[in-house]
Amino acid sequence: MPNIENRVRKLAKPSNHAQGLQPLFEAISNAFYAIEDRFEAKAGSEGLVRVTIRNLGHNDMLKIDVADNGIGLDQARFEAFCVIDTDFKRLKGGKGVGRLFWLDAFSDVVVRSSYIEKMQLVPRTFRFQLGNEDQIQNQAADIPTLLMSEPGVSISFSGLRIKAYQDHFPKRADTFLRYFSAHFIADFLVGAGPKVVVDIDGDITEFPKVISELVEGPAMETGQFETDDFGILEIKAFACDPSASTGLDGNHQLHLLGNGRTVESRKIDGLLGIAGIKAGEKEGLFFHACVSGEYLNDRVNEGRTAFNLSEKTLKELTRQCVEVVKSKLLLDQVEEYKIARRERFEDFISRHPIYGFEDTETQLSRVPFNATQPEDFAAGLVKYQIRKDEARQDAMEKVIATLEGVEDVPANFAETVVSAAKNLQDAERLSLAQHVVRRKLVLELMEKLIRRIKVQEGKPDGFHLEKTLHSFIVPMSVQGSEGLTPQSRDHDLWIVDERLAFTRGFASDVRLNKILKEGGTADRPDLLVWDVAYGLGAVDPNDKKGGVDVSEPLRKVMIVEFKRPGRRDYQKAEDQVEQQITKYLLQLKEGEVEAFGRERVRIAPDCIFYCYVVADIIGDLKTQLSSWKTTANRQGRLRMLEGEFQGSIEVIQWTDLVNDAWSRNQASLHAAGLRRR
């Protein structure tokens, strides 16, 4: 005698809504089978299943009736019902254990049936209960009106028995309908399912009507096709409104059928690639494909909840089916998608040349088929980039080791060196291209910023404030020597001077009394660069002094002031350019700035100050600078510092600042195949 209580206790317990509904879905699937047994080819047109739900959301009061007009529980079928692990429905994939889920989920199960015997309608009623003995408790016939005129079965479920089902049985009608539709969508799509009327507390929904309304255009069929690993398969597919995928994981779906019933649905968004498919004039539809075949029929588990296949096998089966779909059912749309995807990838490479280390087709084959965004391309290619970099570095190290070794140099060593050098040159070319592309974008944006593009509501369009441009070139209120401040490394000071590309010895919009160890006022130069004497150079982040010999005084210092583009009014005393710069110099001369590691760096008495003012020379400023010398291009203004200060003040127009930066990068742009817009 089988231990039914133990069998039920060991059944997998639900962890989501789909699994929480599995016992009810088993009853509905049985109703489908019973209708097929009675009506055969006419099951879709003659069959009817009514699912009536009351008190949804109230676990103890929940009542569900599943009634069908199928063949009914005649003697043979009743005897099969009484036997666990019956072979009665094996040809249809039934294992005879689905009803054990009823005992696990529901507190009370009553089965009522009518069947034809000797040309008469015979009733049968019994309670199905959990226990190792007498699970079938026959009762006096209590036949619903539905079963009084024709055969059928009505199963009444009451209350949810255990916490796992109480937690994961849907509490809302819309949730229930989403999961019901998702589970049986393939049955309704392929036309195998009968009419199903779902009544949830008085609200009626009819299937397959609601599903058929979601389908656009005719069905798409592959016909039978043979695979090496999975035998002969067949796919019937549909273009559906996006709501058809509600409740499913993913948009496009591959429904794997076992014996005509959905066993598992797998999302194929990544494999299919296309965001939405077209049917006639409608776009943005989701693809639902139903796959059937003997291979799947023979591998359904006993609960008809999954296939007895490894995940690896299911993934490969899915992949092969999607390839057939793309070649037979969606060829034109896939080709159109491939062209658009390639264009996006080539645009990605133009912006991020370091990923162009192989030809386009090779690189595209390395990323997921649905990859269309820059981050998706990069994520798919980065591991190949790392492998290539590692291989290149290993090759160079081997060349160096050979040269340093005592053994004779091999005969083919020259070829090895040439190959290693070429690989290194290729890498350098890609890195340069990446660097230049970024600089090109920076300069193009800079050009936009200095034009009259700022929209002001109720006023004429104005220029951006100087702080906008200042922040674009270098973050404000940041001191580069503060190594723990992330912004201290994020700047584009090369726009001002190429030697500043990697400097950290600067202060941006920082008060002089904070920059200087002693003295100083609250005045804030827009930009003060104090390591000019040391090449304005790249510093070692592991060196607390930043690679600067603090015992030597600073003999060159750069000061930069930014003025708003288009500004014309400079009438106030503090607006006098020379006066403003002199005020800074008086505080800096022979002072001490705070360097890396809080070290002091003296400013030499004979320090040369390179002072720049970036502004449009118009209006009051043009008058103010009328006595100054013009620069070589005759657009800027220049005045040498006199008296106790050495150096110069140069006024550079915004346009010239950007043009000079373009000129300095022209050779690199040309080498990378780029040009200024």
| Secondary structure of 537-577 as H, E, C letters | CCCCCCCCCCCCCCCCCEEEEEEEEECCCCCCCCCCHHHCH
Number of C-beta neighbours around residue 513 at 10 A:
15
State the fold for domain 214-329.
Ribosomal Protein S5; domain 2 (3.30.230)
pLDDT at residue number 440: 81
Q: How far apart are CA 344 and CA 374, in angstroms?
A: 8
pLDDT at residue number 544: 46
Strand partners, 652: 614
Helix (H) or strand (E) holding 113: strand 106-117
Residue ranges for the chain with pLDDT beneath 70: 1-2, 85-97, 141-148, 192, 302-304, 403, 406-409, 420-421, 423-432, 452-464, 481-489, 531-551, 594-598, 671-677
Helix axes 466-473, 413-449, angle to 10 degrees: 170
pLDDT at residue number 424: 67
For residue 592, give the amino acid letter.
E
Strand partners, 651: 613, 637
Q: What is the pLDDT of residues 351-377, one digit of tens each?
A: 888 788 888 999 999 999 999 999 999
Q: How far apart are CA 565 and CA 614, in angstroms?
A: 9
Contacts of 126 (CB under 8 A, 6+ apart): 110, 111, 136, 137, 138, 139
Buried-exposed string 250-271: b where 16+ CB fall within 10 A, e elsewhere = ebbbbbbbbbbbbbbbbbbbeb
State the fold for domain 4-207.
Heat Shock Protein 90 (3.30.565)
CA angle 199, 258, 218 (to 5 degrees): 70
- Contact status, residue 270 vs residue 370, Cβ threshold 8 Å: yes
Q: How far apart are CA 589 and CA 308, in angstroms?
A: 83
Max distance between CA atoms of the chain, in angstroms, equals: 127
For residue 180, give the amino acid letter.
F
- Contact status, residue 631 vs residue 638, Cβ threshold 8 Å: yes
Tokens 């264009």 sit on residue: 343
Strand partners, 68: 49, 153
pLDDT at residue number 545: 47
Contacts of 67 (CB under 8 A, 6+ apart): 31, 49, 50, 52, 144, 146, 147, 152, 153, 154, 155
- Contact status, residue 492 vs residue 449, Cβ threshold 8 Å: no
Tokens, residue 295 = 């291979």
Q: How far apart are CA 355 and CA 343, in angstroms?
A: 15
pLDDT at residue number 634: 92
Q: What is the pLDDT of residues 8-37, one digit of tens each?
A: 888 889 998 888 999 999 999 899 989 999
Q: Residue 30's closest CA among 95, 110, 126, 75?
A: 95
CATH 3.30.565.10 domain residues, the chain? 4-207
Tokens, residue 277 = 């498919």
For residue 519, give the amino acid letter.
G
Number of C-beta neighbours around residue 439 at 10 A:
22
- Give the CA distances from residue 78 to residues 84, 89, 106, 248, in Å, rounded to whole numbers and listed in that order: 12, 12, 21, 35
Number of C-beta neighbours around residue 415 at 10 A:
10
Tokens, residue 556 = 């060159």
pTM of the model: 0.58
CATH 3.30.230 domain residues, the chain? 214-329
Task: Classify residue 284 as left (phi > 0), alpha (psi -120 to 50) or beta.
Answer: left
CA-derived radius of gyration, the chain: 39
pLDDT at residue number 105: 94
CA angle 125, 11, 170 (to 5 degrees): 75
Tokens, residue 507 = 């202060």
